[in-house]
Amino acid sequence: MRRALLYAGVAVGALVMLFPFAWTVITSITPGAGLGAPDIIPDEPGLDAYRTLLDAMPFWRILANSLWIAVASTLLQLITSAMAAYAFARLDFPGRNALFLVYLATLMVPMQVLVVPLFIEMRELNLVDTYAALLAPSIASAFGVFLLRQAVAQVPIELDEAATIDGAGHLRIFVSVVWPLIRPALATFAVLAFMSSWNSFLWPLVVIRSPELMTLPLGLSTLHGQFTTEWDVVMAGSVISIIPIAVLYLAAQTYVIQGVARSGLK
């Protein structure tokens, strides 16, 4: 009975989590749907909203912009965060703990506070309305350093010592010993970093002017009219925007669960 109640509770929780996604899909195939509760089975379902979406904007260009920016941002954050995490976990240098605390303190600074100085910096570098402006602020991540430092710290130091005896330096130890052993944490952070970049709206809104440089959240915002909004078209764009993140998470699901369990973020 206890197990049955547990499974029932988990099932209810899963249905609650899936409800917004089901609502989005149903609304996207219901012609002329509004924000009211859609019919579970639409009377005349169709894909007209998806066709309208493709005609209303250069959708595939916008989707490609979001995809390559998210992938590049994720890869850069993985590399920089993993190397910084190795330095904080393995290298003994003066002020290491104090520097790490200062680094973590940046997590308390909201993005809204950083928008103006970041924009001024991009303007001085003549990078406004460029791909570089979209990518530059996301090259490093304080949260990624914290997450991966926890994972590196759990790798036995004896492995480093054995590699050192064999003549390996820090770079070889990082690449050949530490990196393969923290793959669960890397996968976890990769999913989180990709989601953050993929869903970013405020920074692209501030720094991008050209329609051909728009990312997907910014492009979808243009579908909202001043007086009326075709919500079925907006939901069609939302459905497409969910697919890459869902695919990434399903591909990395096992590593994500292991990474959360091992990094102390239970």
Render pLDDT for 217-257 as a digit per residue (tens, 0 to 9): 888 888 776 556 777 888 888 888 888 888 888 887 777 67
**Class level of CATH domain 51-262:** mainly alpha
Element (H, E) at 189: helix 183-198
- What does the pLDDT read at residue 96? 87
Q: 265: pLDDT confidence band, cut at 50, 70 and 90?
A: very low
Give CA–CA dist 215/64, Å, rounded.
8
DSSP state string for 91-124: ---TTHHHHHHHHHHGGGS-HHHHHHHHHHHHHH
Phi, psi of 40 (to 5 degrees): -60, -40
Average pLDDT over residues 200-206: 90
Q: Please count the helices (runs of H) and the strands (runs of E) in the chain.
A: 14, 0
Contact between 145 and 81 (Cβ < 8 Å) = yes
pLDDT digits (tens, 9 = 90+) for 116-128: 999 999 999 999 9
pLDDT digits (tens, 9 = 90+) for 123-179: 999 999 899 998 988 898 899 999 899 889 888 888 888 988 888 888 899 988 898
Q: Which residues contact 105 (CB under 8 A, 6 or more apart)?
A: none
Element (H, E) at 181: helix 179-181
Name the nearest CA neighbour of 130 among 34, 223, 204, 198. Answer: 204
| pTM tops 0.95, yes or no | no
3-state helix, strand, coil in the chain (%, to 5): 75, 0, 25
- Count CB neighbours of 257 within 10 A: 13
Average pLDDT over residues 199-219: 89
Q: What DSSP state is assigned to residue 202? A: H
Residue 197 has pLDDT above 70, yes or no: yes
Residue/partner pairs of 88-94 with CB below 8 Å, 24 or more apart: 88/145, 88/149, 89/149, 89/152, 89/153, 90/152, 90/157, 90/160, 90/170, 90/173, 90/178, 91/170
Q: Where are the domains of the chain?
A: 1-46, 51-262
pLDDT digits (tens, 9 = 90+) for 48-107: 888 888 887 888 899 899 999 999 999 999 999 999 999 999 888 888 889 999 888 888
Q: 258: pLDDT confidence band, cut at 50, 70 and 90?
A: low
- Name residue 242's amino acid: I
Give CA–CA dist 167/170, Å, rounded.
10
Q: Which residue has the higher pLDDT, 29 or 39?
A: 29
Name the nearest CA neighbour of 223 among 212, 237, 210. Answer: 237
Residue 262 has pLDDT above 80, yes or no: no
